[in-house]
Amino acid sequence: MTEPLLRTHELSRRAGDKLIVDHISLDVYAGDMMAILGKSGAGKSSFLRLINRLDEPTYGTVYLDGQDYRQLSPRELRRRVGMMMQAAYLFPGTVADNVRFGPRQQGIELTAPEIDELLESVGLKGFAGRDVTRLSGGEAQRVSLARSLANRPEVLLLDEPTSALDERAEREVEALLTRVIRDYKLTCMMITHDTAQAARIANRAILIDAGRLVENGTVEEVLHAESVLQ
């Protein structure tokens, strides 16, 4: 039996007197594309933010490749566990500046051809010198993805990565994600409100309700449970 690449153990976060993430234990295996479903306010983003320690758990922990993540520095953790959110938070400057940032923090200087190659892999050939303020929403999301990939992550966390895009850009970014996940052999956890999207790209799914993990199974099983819950 192989060990999970990522394991959350009773992961919890209390805000005031409310448990917004309530003792979630979950195993994610290498190569999984795990969809995270649930109503608005269920605690999906809060759960994901705990996984790369954008927020601190108030109880429980995460094991990355068997190691308690509290033994890793936040920088090391965020290199290994990348995050892509609904809106791309890019730093002011050029596309290349953004892609260079993560590796530079570890003392690695990407060469211009390496940056070009990363950009090409996300469909942004020739964008290295572009100012980020002059990108479309879909292009900015691609830069955000390239910036994550530059760190050579093992796990990619995606919080509704396509929901702020129009339908055409959404399909393009989704197709790109599918390809990049395969090419880079990434393990992913992706929050989506779009059940059709979950069915298209995920192999596993969970359902979160009121901070708790209430379903864990195939996408079909979880979509069925979700429809019962509504």
Ligand X SMILES: Nc1ncnc2c1ncn2[C@@H]1O[C@H](COP(=O)(O)OP(=O)(O)OP(=O)(O)O)[C@@H](O)[C@H]1O
CB of 10 or CB of 117, closer to ligand X: 10
In this structure, the number of other CB atoms found within 10 A of the CB of residue 140 comes to 21
Q: Which stretch binds ligand X (CB under 6 A): 34-42, 56-64, 163-171, 172-180?
A: 34-42
Q: Which residues pair with 63 in a beta bridge?
A: 7, 68
CB of 43 or CB of 82, closer to ligand X: 43
Whether 155 contacts 186, CB under 8 Å: yes
Q: Is 197 in the site for ligand X (CB under 6 A)?
A: no
| CA 152 to mean position of chain CA atoms | 13
Which of 8, 45, 94, 148 contacts Mg ion by CB under 5 A?
Answer: 45
In this structure, the number of other CB atoms found within 10 A of the CB of residue 59 comes to 14
Q: Is 153 in the site for ligand X (CB under 6 A)?
A: no
H helix intervals, 9-94: 44-51, 74-80
User: Taking CB under 6 A as the rule, which mask of x and - marks residues 37-56 in contact with ligand X?
Assistant: -x-xxxxxxx----------
Q: Is 20 in the site for ligand X (CB under 6 A)?
A: yes
Whether 210 contacts 43, CB under 8 Å: yes
Given the rule CB under 6 A, which residues bind ligand X? 15, 20, 38, 40-46
Given the rule CB under 5 A, which residues bind Mg ion? 45
